[in-house]
Structure 1
């Protein structure tokens, strides 16, 4: 039985196919967010800028953005992902959610220089958070994540202290980290911070081809530590759908794993989209899937996928075996450029 927030005219019906689980309520400063997190977190980078290797339509208009946001909200999606770097995304969300209280996760980039003091880094973070709050129309960000994790290697202590101050002052509800690349090097310097109790929410890229957070123990550790875990890149920015003739030269190495994925999809009679969603959705320790959309219809499709059937155990085992070690240039989007 899913715990629901007491009825409010501005809140969606949370007993829907989007699915939720109880979490701690987060104060926004203009009310309190819903006390649940939807199994689907709507990714909104597409609302602020053209995004995705398989994107054919570009960025939707504000009217179309409002239509798809309304479809998500009415469908029980209470969790939304954005970032200061996502063009107009924060602004669009701020305009749409005026008077409503979703669980918004936004992210900030930091660019500290050698010799910067902790006070300087703290001031920079406060300034960036202030910008996000203004665009979102909030007094407090429910979840604030660090977007570029490379800075944690040399400035992690100061950044962590600044996050703690922002939380103590009520400018953010929860602090978090958005893992960038899943590389061994990144996890080397992030590991102590991922285990730090201050960082209550973590976002990781993971999908049927990229099992690195499973293999390196990150997903298990986060679950045991009680973190809220968001998984993005479920469709690998649309790569999972691409045909061989659509692949750029740099992604020629993707042909073999994509062919293997199509073969398994056909053998079990499960579409690639459903296969990709069910594989991540049913993993222990995963709280919400961050999936973007460019149209209202895509939101409806994604809601249906989140309500789809589980994968046969034999298929899960074959996916784990077949894609245990896919080349990094295939599963790491920043290497595609």
Structure 2
């Protein structure tokens, strides 16, 4: 199977992703538990709002996110949505630890453990396990997850080739890599025949590290970008950044907070809320196909949709 064609002329308007997509980490109980009813309502709201691309991963709640997303999407026409999941972590039962909590950011029992496996066999098994949890016959996109993690760097080329082999066999539609490590992404884009990257926290109003070399490389080589983390862990998710906001998964520093507040002031001078600009900013680059954001509740999704659709005067971008 040849690499899927990606057109960068107004790509987010013509590609099946749509401008706004849903990242389902919150449905794996990221930071706090979400009950099944709330999770189902959130997914139904995403569909109601026109969202048709859903991203999940085994890592998210030890498979809980995949199970919830799959249960919802099984009731929808298969040709009306895109779904992606990830490989790199295999889930193995640990029933003896079921009385404990998972030792990551996910509020779930530790009845399963994650084991890094970037081998071709492990990647195939991971896909099979994900399909079982999803209850689907296929996924549209498969990403290599977090290759920046310690100990797996030497295995990245083989893992990427294993993904490409799955695509060539017709087992997945598109393949890519998801990480915040711009150097790793740039190397893979230059050397491997991938379709997409999932870029985390590196092309935002506060961090434009990807703009200098990575995004031009993606445009040149026909690699689409799914941009995530555009709120930089939360600091850009409020019209006025808060003192207790998070940045890059930690406490915000005074200098970053001051920078974010200056951005908010510029937005306000144009009658725009900061989160609206944060959501729409990266879509100005033609390689960015969609912005995927997470939400654990329906009202958060409705707010994100409103911000994504808010009118923004062209002059704002120049001032920012």
Match of 2:84 among 68, 93, 105: 105
* Residue 246 of structure 2 corresponds to residue 234 of structure 1: no
Aligned position for 1:332: none
1:180 Cα deviation after fit = 2.2
Aligned position for 2:214: 218
Equivalences for 1:39-188 in 2 at 5 Å? 39-51=19-31, 58-87=32-61, 88-100=64-76, 101=78, 102-110=81-89, 121-150=119-148, 153-182=153-182, 187=183
Q: 1:232-290 deviations in whole A, cap 9, x for unaligned?
A: 01111212234125567663442221221222123222111112122223332211001
SS for the counterpart of 2:84 is strand
SS for the counterpart of 1:198 is coil
Q: 1:278-317 deviations in whole A, cap 9, x for unaligned?
A: 222333221100111121122222222222223433x323
Equivalences for 1:187-202 in 2 at 5 Å? 187=183, 189-196=184-191, 198-202=193-197
Contact 1:81 1:104 in 2 (8 A): yes
Change (3 A) 1:310 1:246: closer
Unaligned residue ranges in structure 1 (runs of 5+): 1-18, 24-35, 52-57, 112-118, 320-337
Q: d(CA) in 1 for partners of 2:82 and 2:244?
A: 40
1:162 Cα deviation after fit = 1.2
Change (3 A) 1:91 1:66: same
Q: d(CA) in 2 for partners of 1:156 and 1:249?
A: 31
Unaligned residue ranges in structure 2 (runs of 5+): 1-10, 91-116
Q: d(CA) in 1 for partners of 2:304 and 2:298?
A: 10
Change (3 A) 1:249 1:90: closer
Aligned position for 1:13: none
Equivalences for 1:206-285 in 2 at 5 Å? 206-215=203-212, 217-240=213-236, 241=238, 242-245=241-244, 251-285=253-287
Q: d(CA) in 2 for partners of 1:197 and 1:138?
A: 28
